[in-house]
Amino acid sequence: MQFRNVGVCRQAVAQTALVGVIFANHAWAVPVAPQTKPFKVLDPQSWANPDNMTWADYKTPPGTSWNDPSRKGSERNFNIALVAVDYSDKPFVITQQPNTTVFGNPLSAKYGLDRSEVPAFFRDFLNTPNDLNHNHTLHEYWMEDSGGRFGVDLTAFGAYLLPSLSYQYGVDDEQGGFNEGACPSEGPCSIDLRTDALGAWRADVGNETADSFELVFILSAGQDESSTWQEFGEMKFQGPEDVPDDFGPPNDDELPNYAQTRYVNWTSWQAASVIWPNAGGGSSTQAESSGMSTYAHELTHLLGIGDNYNNPYSDPPRRSYTGPWSMLSRGSFNGPGGPHTRWQIPATQGGSLGSLHTMGDKMRIGLVANSSVLMVSREALSSSGPVVAEITARCINPGEDELMGLHVIMGEDLSPACNTSTDALCDGGGYNNYDIEVIDRMGADSFTPDSGVMISKTKDVDNAPFQWTIDANPQDIDVVDFYRPDGTPSALTIGDYRQLADALFHAGTNSGSEFEYIDEANGLHFYIVDIRRDDVGILHYTVGVRSLDGSGSSTYGIELEEGQVAEGPLAKATDNGVTCAFQMTNSGAFTATESGVQHPQDMSAFLTSDIYRLSAEVDGNGWRVELPNALATAKFGETAMVNVAVGATIEAVGNAVVKLTITSESDPPTLIRAQACLTFSHWSIHEMTIKVTEEQSATPIPRTMLGSGNKFDPNTDIPDLSGKVFVITGGSAGIGYGISAHILQHGASKLYLLGKKEEHLAEAQEELKKYGDVSRVEFVQIELEDLHHTDKVAKDLASKIDRLDALVLNAGLGVGKYNETKDGLDSHMQVNVISQHHLARILLPKLVATPDSRLCFQSSEVHRMGTSGVEFRSLEEINKDIGPAHLYGRTKLAQLLLCQAFHRRKLHGELGLVSGTSPWINATHPGGVGTDQPDQAEEAYGGVRQLLMKAVRPFMKDPIDDGCRPMLFAATSDAVAEEKIDGQYIVPDRKVTDTSSQAKDEQLQENCWNLVEGILKQKLDRVSKIGGGLNT
């Protein structure tokens, strides 16, 4: 099997000569549309790392209230008992004070309960909407997953004190067990938790009451091993011998402080000594750290389906089966904060809201009606022709005329054999079907990594792997999982479930994914034809499947009308480009096949379309064309619109020819061609040629400037900022004050203005009243020369804001004398660079979670001056007095280096950043501005230099009217997102320009990044406190 573009026989070719814009005597007319973005990607893949998700990522399915406890399942409400048990050596963690246990639990979200309150607390935490569970419940999960068929009733019992010690139930030391050799001398271990827990419960309530429940959840005091072994094993300790006594066995036992665990050969003994959740015999076991999705996962087992996950750390390695997309795989790990937060008590992060069941699993246990799934026969496809259908996201209960997906029945898997011992990507063979379903980041799927189409192979029996996701990006995703105690990065293993974060298929071209999949051995070709998100926000895809062995009895034909410009005759190809719209007609005729193998259900509504492949090219220097979508479909006898994006540079020749080719994917016996010709002019190109001044003519104009010039007037060019939130450092004076004034003037809903001097903050509060309602401004005193104070302010901000549209790192000491801070650092580097970098790292998740956000660095042209020999290799280097100008210039270079280092991590998908999307990360140069920084320079210099500083003052810009323009452009302008200005250096007003060779030096960028990160780690012990690049 492979991904490839397939050329087949049916073609319609349109040659479009770009000469003339007025269209007369057309057989059809395209509705004139406003100037749009023809080159915009139709369905871009934008996968998210679970580590960087927050509760803000949750989206409620439109028109639903599945968490309403008064609603019951239309077919069944599970009647489940919750039996809470604890031990003489381990009370319930939730009854203790914060950070009491060796694992640092409980967290401050909930603690100090009376033992008698514990059963009711966990009942409500799991199944009653409240603030702590963010109003998400087990009942809600199953109601949504089943479209209202299944609900959950939960009744709490206990607490019961069990007769043995906690580790005697937790340590599985039997031969072949998870923790062989880990039982202390005060044994025995591997005692059956179910026997004692259910026995205590039945003795209390009696058999009649106990038998009235269908299922039992046993809640064990403490951690569970699944959520704890890695965080308190290899992530916390460099090696097994580094595990301290606190994490070792009790009573100074002779056992080592480490023990074997399920997937690897060691973790801390304490992590290995707790239970591993499991299900069987009508009951399941969980612990206090087990999130709600653990209960959903184990309940699925009680309905008769096994696990569908691999060992992520196996040798030889084996790829994850269905990863984050399936509740029976690692979808049970889903939730904000990612898998490495699953150890927390109470469990409000990773594991708190798992993915929905896959369509195949839904069919197995009755969560979806068979009428909502289109049953297709592989054998019948060769005689029926292709199947085309629109399917709806699986988080939506399909309406009467809607489909959840396609189930293609193969019977026998004809794929050639592969060896799972030598090929980590080998699926193992033996599959019976293909499933096609839509996953949207909505409802219980909100914490899956992406929205798109999942294609998977499935088996009729749950012999793992019984479902195998086809990975649209099978290459190593190359993401750091965590950093070991010595700072060494540990990448995701090939078997890690997050390798499938980019597995979904997407419609259209240039998405970062694929829009088709071919299984040649099984004679099947799958298509993602189009995407549609309806008016209420529900996601739909048009998909198709055809046989490679035949296309039935239908006749196939194509007619193509002359194209037209969708934006009308005044559109400009040299702006955003134009859309050439072509009307295509399927001129073939459908013929039903009466004999031979038939599909399992009536397919007549889905067999009357053909699938087409498009290609376009242009003949004319300076012109370009792209197809937003390389596929199209139309029913027999009906028409469809096909769009081609066309653009021209200002140097383009006066006319050009666009050739559009449409090829039928079906395979009738004769070749059919259709041609259409469209002529239109060079778009009066002289009208949009930029006036190039004599000064500009020697330098090529950056593409990002075409059509707009280099002017940016903040009074007229800043868009409406209603609803947006900004954080600005150094915002109380100088350039920062100018930035703050304009942002307030344009309606920002919240502005956090950070400054050092209280008198400046007070003055700013008074002065800003001229520009808007200062009740929308929060004035925050921050001491950037004190890392611990900076850390506190940053974390306070992070805790109170849900979104962040722009972080403007503007604060800075100017040219001044060398001085060391209380942290023992050069004050210029600490204020201008290190402290603000820490602020950026703390607030980065807020930027990532906010659409069209900005991360802006205030640099300067001074970065080019006096920085030779700078290497950023050691603390000693930056704490050397190199003179006022060089101290300042070094920090401006560092800001550019860190800007580029952030951007490169974005290109690599690190820190939760996604290439091609916000936050847009740029640095700016304000120009010479009249702030208080020249005062610092005059103080630092004497003699002639002091006179020179005074001499240039009259030529400096006003900070409010002029000096803030590049930063305001970077932080607010729509053009930044539209033109994808990212990782750039912007000079007055909005010109993207080149930096010094030093600023472009990737090794120097990494040196600076590593030095700053290392200093923060040393000074703040930042490991484990923030994610993405330190310890996730």
Catalytically active residues, by annotation: 888, 892
Q: Which of 308, 311, 277, 275 is nearest to 293 (CA)?
A: 277
**CA distance to 523, 606, 747, 866, 968, per residue, from 519 (Å):** 6, 21, 54, 60, 51
Is the omega angle on the peptide bond into residue 970 within 30 degrees of 0, that is, cis?
Answer: no
**Does residue 313 contact residue 495 with C-beta atoms inside 8 Å?**
yes
Question: What are the residues whose beta carbons fall under 8 Å from the beta carbon of 701, sequence distance 6 or more?
Answer: 690, 692
302: number of Cβ within 10 Å: 19
Alpha helices in 436-568 (DSSP H): none
**CA distance to 116, 155, 219, 278, 388, per residue, from 161 (Å):** 12, 19, 12, 21, 60
**Does residue 249 contact residue 271 with C-beta atoms inside 8 Å?**
no
Residue with tokens 């959740």: 277
Beta bridge partners of 609: 635
- The Cα–Cα gap between 849 and 815 comes to 36
**Rounded to 5 degrees, what are φ and ψ at 562?**
-60, 140
621: number of Cβ within 10 Å: 11
3-state class (DSSP) for residue 499: helix
- The Cα–Cα gap between 194 and 303 comes to 18
Q: Which amino acid is it at 989?
A: D
Q: What single string gives the DSSP state of each residue in 599-640? A: -SS--GGGSSEEEEEEEEEEESTTEEEE-S-SEEEEETT-EE
User: What is the H or E stretch that residue 220 is in?
Assistant: strand 215-220
Q: Where are the beta strands (DSSP E) in 245-288?
A: 258-259, 267-268, 278-280, 283-287
User: What is the H or E stretch that residue 297 is in?
Assistant: helix 292-302
Judging by DSSP bridges, how do beta strands 854-858 and 920-924 pair with one another?
parallel
**Does residue 862 contact residue 886 with C-beta atoms inside 8 Å?**
no
**CA distance to 465, 585, 655, 920, 1007, per residue, from 658 (Å):** 48, 20, 10, 34, 49
- The Cα–Cα gap between 38 and 627 comes to 9
Establish how many alpha carbons lie within 13 A of residue 795's alpha carbon, considering only the half-sphere containing its beta carbon: 11
Q: What single string gives the DSSP state of each residue in 422-472? A: T-TT---S---EEEEEEE-SSGGGTTSS--EEEEEEE-SS--SSSEEE--S
- The Cα–Cα gap between 519 and 416 comes to 11
**CA distance to 12, 30, 419, 680, 871, per residue, from 26 (Å):** 19, 10, 60, 14, 67
Is the omega angle on the peptide bond into residue 106 within 30 degrees of 0, that is, cis?
Answer: yes
3-state class (DSSP) for residue 585: strand
**Does residue 544 contact residue 526 with C-beta atoms inside 8 Å?**
yes
**Does residue 914 contact residue 48 with C-beta atoms inside 8 Å?**
yes
**Does residue 287 contact residue 219 with C-beta atoms inside 8 Å?**
yes
User: What is the H or E stretch that residue 648 is in?
Assistant: strand 639-648
